[in-house]
Amino acid sequence: MHDGSPARIEADLESLWTYVPCPTLVIDQAGVVRALSASAQSLLPEAAPGSRLQDAVGWLSQAHHRLVRPTPVPDGRGSSVVSGLVGERTFDAHHAILPGGEVAWSLVEDTGQVLRQAQHAMTGEQERAAFLLEASSVLLASLDIDRCREATVQLAARDLADAAVVVTPASRGRRMPIFYGDSSGKVEQRSVDADPGSVTGLSEALRGFPAVPARLIDAAKLPDWLIPHSFTRPVSSVMIVPLPGHGASAGALVLLRRAGAEAFSEDEEELARLFAARAGAALSAARLYVEQAAVTRTLMRDLLPPQLRSVHGIEFAGGYRASEDYGVVGGDFYDLHPAATSDGETLVVLGDVCGKGLDAAMLTGKIRNTLHALTPLASDHQAVLELLNEAMLSAEHARFATLVLASVVNRDGEVVLRLTSAGHLPPLIVRDGGRVEQAATRGTLIGALPSITVQSFETTLAPGETCVLYTDGVTEARGGYHLGEERLGAALAECAGLPAEAVVERVMMLASEWTSPHVHDDIAVVAITAPRRTHLSAVDGRTRGRFTA
């Protein structure tokens, strides 16, 4: 009964079929394709006039049968739209019942679906960007290297995998510090003695080579030391990516997925690499900082001046205030090299190195060590200073130090002093009664000129008299500002008869009042005092005995 119809349609509309934009098929009530547009033909190569719709598009065939069944189930929506997949594309099928009872099905691609997919992709991209941004800010927030490793495994375990492990190359010996993180946010830390070469891609990643594709790594063969205790095997997939640092690799990031989880996609591998680049940079910065801080700490510890005490019946006291500029190593220093015997000379050195920072610190260390070695020659100050000058000369720079040497010996209750200034402020001597004298010594600064001249000054300190060596930044001078030299003199006049420690206290107090912008704020003071009172029962001059008034 339908024989004539298709022919009629073909006859009337054949030429139009070529131009129908939507794939359209005419299906008879038995589910046989009677005609189809060129676009339908290219979409559904299996469909041909006379073939069964069921063989070409299953879901459309079902919809067709529901539509043409003798007593259609009333669904309240006569023109309901069905949809389904053709290949990977989703189509909505719209129908029209032709006069002969056949149904014309037009397939319209579900553009909403395409939009949703694009939206999904965009959301994914936004999430990745947000994740990387968060990673950067979290990772860069701390210069503590362990905190950085913790943050790396926490972020990676939360967003990139079920568990994450950071392996760091062994620095000393063979033990590698390893951090493990799981989705709970907890971090486990172990120190492992193992061969990274036993894991495909790990030693390469530790050396900074590009990541081995995840599919090439056999998850079943991962050693236990690479898996957090909280993680239950089996591991379904693994990714190992390098953490690139500045110059050297900062380690490797290992990502693990549980059984049942999807394998890492290409997108995920790419995201992991982007994350690893950020983590590597942060870890590397933290490591450099830690190394630098350790160097500064070591130098600072070495540069701290010693505690002074009485030696052979002579009082020595020292005061040192470091620069308030944190991390800047000051250039002021003092040292005491006690004589081996009571009739030998004790050498006191006080000085100031030009400049600041590590250069100044290195120079200070060099000067102190050289002077220590030259102590046996200290009976000749000029010889010591000439040798020091030669040792410090450099063709590249003219960094210098100014310093004062004081050789001190106790002779029958009187302290004999030999003072030599090498470009430094002359020491001040507080006489009994409060007169303050400037030691008549002068000389050339050390380390910048091929030859130096110095002029020593000898004097004796009667009991109670004090000699003060000090730095006050004489080489940093401002017009109209006399660095408190006169004020120091006036203050010292009031210190007559005081013990060495009290004199130092007084000078340090005064120094804190001098503080002025631009004038360097570290200061060193040494006081040498001949004790006013004589010991009754001193045995070796080091113990405090009883004193007479």
Give 468's Cβ-side CA count (13 Å radius).
Answer: 33
According to the binding rule CB under 8 A, does residue 475 interact with other proteins?
A: yes
Helix residue ranges, H only, 141-233: 145-159, 202-206
Least distance from C-beta 173 to other proteins, angstroms? 42
Q: Give the SS3 label for residue 479.
A: coil
Closer CB to other proteins, 148 or 511, in the complex:
511
Identify the residue among 177, 208, 319, 331 touching other proteins (CB under 8 A): 331
Q: Give the SS3 label for residue 50.
A: coil
Identify the residue among 52, 94, 321, 399 touching other proteins (CB under 8 A): 399
Assigned token pair, 141:
């927030």
According to the binding rule CB under 8 A, does residue 354 interact with other proteins?
A: yes
According to the binding rule CB under 8 A, does residue 524 interact with other proteins?
A: no
According to the binding rule CB under 8 A, does residue 355 interact with other proteins?
A: yes
Q: Is 237 left (phi over 0), alpha (psi -120 to 50) or beta?
A: beta
Q: Identify the sign of the CA torsion 134, 140, 141, 144.
A: positive
According to the binding rule CB under 8 A, does residue 388 interact with other proteins?
A: no
Q: Radius of gyration over alpha carbons of the chain, in Å?
A: 45
Closer CB to other proteins, 298 or 453, in the complex:
453
Closer CB to other proteins, 100 or 357, in the complex:
357
Cα-Cα-Cα-Cα dihedral of 260, 202, 273, 239, to 10°? -10
According to the binding rule CB under 8 A, does residue 149 interact with other proteins?
A: no
- Name which of residues 481 to 500 contact other proteins (CB under 8 A): 481
Identify the residue among 295, 462, 477, 509 touching other proteins (CB under 8 A): 477
Assigned token pair, 493:
């006049």
Neighbouring-strand partners of residue 409: 416
Least distance from C-beta 235 to other proteins, angstroms? 57
Least distance from C-beta 500 to other proteins, angstroms? 25
Least distance from C-beta 352 to other proteins, angstroms? 7
- Apex CA 42: angle with CA 39 and CA 48, to 5°? 95
Closer CB to other proteins, 310 or 402, in the complex:
402
Least distance from C-beta 453 to other proteins, angstroms? 7
Length of the chain equals: 549
Least distance from C-beta 467 to other proteins, angstroms? 18
Identify the residue among 132, 449, 493, 538 touching other proteins (CB under 8 A): 449
Least distance from C-beta 358 to other proteins, angstroms? 14
Which residue carries 């402020």 as its tokens? 425
According to the binding rule CB under 8 A, does residue 397 interact with other proteins?
A: yes
Closer CB to other proteins, 120 or 397, in the complex:
397
Q: How would you class 400 by CB atoms within 10 Å of its CB: exposed for 0-12, middle for 13-18, buried for 19 or more?
A: buried
According to the binding rule CB under 8 A, does residue 99 interact with other proteins?
A: no
According to the binding rule CB under 8 A, does residue 366 interact with other proteins?
A: no
Q: What is the maximum alpha-carbon separation in the chain?
A: 145
Cα 158 from Cα 164, distance rounded (Å): 9
Strands 24-27 and 33-36: antiparallel
Cα 223 from Cα 506, distance rounded (Å): 67
Binding-site size for other proteins (CB under 8 A) equals 34
Least distance from C-beta 483 to other proteins, angstroms? 9
Residue range at the interface with other proteins (CB under 8 A); choices 61-69, 161-169, 417-425, 489-497: 417-425
- Apex CA 305: angle with CA 300 and CA 310, to 5°? 160
Which residue carries 């050390």 as its tokens? 446
According to the binding rule CB under 8 A, does residue 443 interact with other proteins?
A: yes
- Apex CA 161: angle with CA 216 and CA 168, to 5°? 75
Closer CB to other proteins, 285 or 428, in the complex:
428
* Contact residues for other proteins, defined by CB under 8 A: 331, 352, 354-356, 397-400, 402, 422-425, 442-445, 448-449, 452-454, 473-481, 518, 520
